[in-house]
Chain A
């Protein structure tokens, strides 16, 4: 690639990287934890010792919910759990989805307002929508915004590949502790980018496809296929048509029988949830949704009528091309196709991705400062980057701490609000602090504090819940992951300190971007300057 064209490609890479970098940091850091979303759902449940009474089973729960909430009869999701099954339905009076667990009902069958943590859902929302709430609009603003960010991210990846392809082998081994701080960040950025390029390509394309779905579908309908596209999308992606009730009632089968009938159709099925449409209606149906292990596109559905007659089976090798294409989009994004090992790989690559975006933003700020001389915009962006990154990392840790601590205090009812509130407060405070403090000192302080925040979470759970924190498999896994995050932050801190000791930081880092400390030269410019002064003398 010619020099001028390469420079424009670097500009594009920097532009899209800068536009999307901070949002991607949030998405990747929260996403790395969100890989273990189901485990986190178990982890967040407060443990007060052995339960006094055995909660009702799936059938009892369905009976209570559909009896008390007519909306649930139209459409509900059953989350099977041996200890505490749950039901989700859309409550029109509240205009929102409602979740009820078996343990929410007392002995008389009355649903009580049991305070529950919503940490896993909050982390998930941070990941796919930056925590931007959806007020029930036809388009999810946060999710669409992240879809657009994913497109920017894809452009940054392709431009980065074009920039680095000619020297890819050389750069692969270039993470040396020599030269200046900027060279170190650049090498770190390049090495992470090269190692994890396939992972990032998957994330950008699948993230953009999911996030931009509404916008793309609307435009595709307006420009290409016309208004009938909506009906086609529904027809091609729904497992069975909506219930056409004739008013005939039916006694619902026991859920154990439903699961058994589904396994009869698909012996390898691992059940994740059940969708029941038209509960108690003869025209209703039950979709037993889950996975068939051993496939990349592992999602499967067995649709049954209320008499347990099979209506449709959607499984690997038994599905339409659209279902066969959709399933890998989800599984490649969520990393749930290869067991624990693949999930751990996604977790590690997610954390590395966060580092990629921080280093990219820092590089951009330093490069801009080098090119244009001292300026407030570069200093502001560097400080904002450090503030947002520290705010997100430490804010999430405090959300975890609030999630564990509050259920054991009189403020238990506020736990779900506190998880979000404490995150927002810490994020705002740290961003405000970062804009005032010296970036170098701020980073040192944050990196000193952050590992201890993550170390404190398993310790707190152990203090509050005793051996339950480690004996229960999902708790143990989440706690080990949190310790791994603490260890990673400790390594980043150590490397950061090492760099400070070994090389003079860029003036942006010490707040020296002023008239007294003008333009900071790059190595190439320094060399050029040396040559010029030599020739002049």
Chain B
């Protein structure tokens, strides 16, 4: 259950973290979309791995949920959403 939930929660977080990276880097996000995809998949795997480290499941799953919310809020402060090519 812990790993299944970790897998589900890690996917949006990895994508949003990559989005934040795209917002931070001084190059157009459209130009490195494929690399973002590969990096997001790798990050997703590593985040699931992270779920196994703490002794208790609840804190890490809550932390993942909070991190998702924080990443989403941080993304709202970037000009990424809705900015076309």
Contact = CB atoms under 8 A, between A and B. Distances in A.
B38 A232 contact: no
Contacts of B7: 151-152, 155
A8 B29 contact: no
Interface string B4-37: 0001000110011011001000000111111111
A40 B3 CA distance: 40
Interface string A110-138: 00000000000000000000000000000
Nearest to B19: A224
B85 interface: yes
A262 B36 CA distance: 32
A320 B16 contact: no
Interface in A1-48: 4-5, 8-9, 11-12, 15-16
B83 A226 contact: yes
Contacts of A204: 45
B45 A322 contact: no
Given A322-B33, A325-B38, A224 B45 contact: no
B64 interface: no
Contacts of A410: none
Interface size class, chain B: 35 or more
A412 interface: no
**A interface secondary structure, majority:** helix
Contacts of A216: 15, 37, 40-41
B85 A220 contact: no
B42 A231 contact: no
Contacts of B30: 232, 235-236
A5 B51 CA distance: 11
A356 B45 CA distance: 20
Contact of B52 (A9, A233, A236, A321): A9
A9 B55 CA distance: 11
Nearest to A13: B52
A151 B38 contact: no
9 nearest A-B residue pairs (beta carbon): A224-B19, A12-B52, A154-B45, A325-B34, A226-B82, A228-B84, A226-B81, A208-B41, A155-B48
Interface of A: 4-5, 8-9, 11-12, 15-16, 151-152, 154-155, 158-159, 162, 204-206, 208-209, 212-213, 215-217, 219-220, 223-228, 231-233, 235-237, 320-322, 325-326, 329
15 contacts: A12-B48, A151-B7, A151-B48, A155-B45, A158-B45, A162-B49, A209-B37, A219-B11, A223-B15, A223-B16, A226-B83, A232-B85, A235-B85, A321-B34, A325-B34
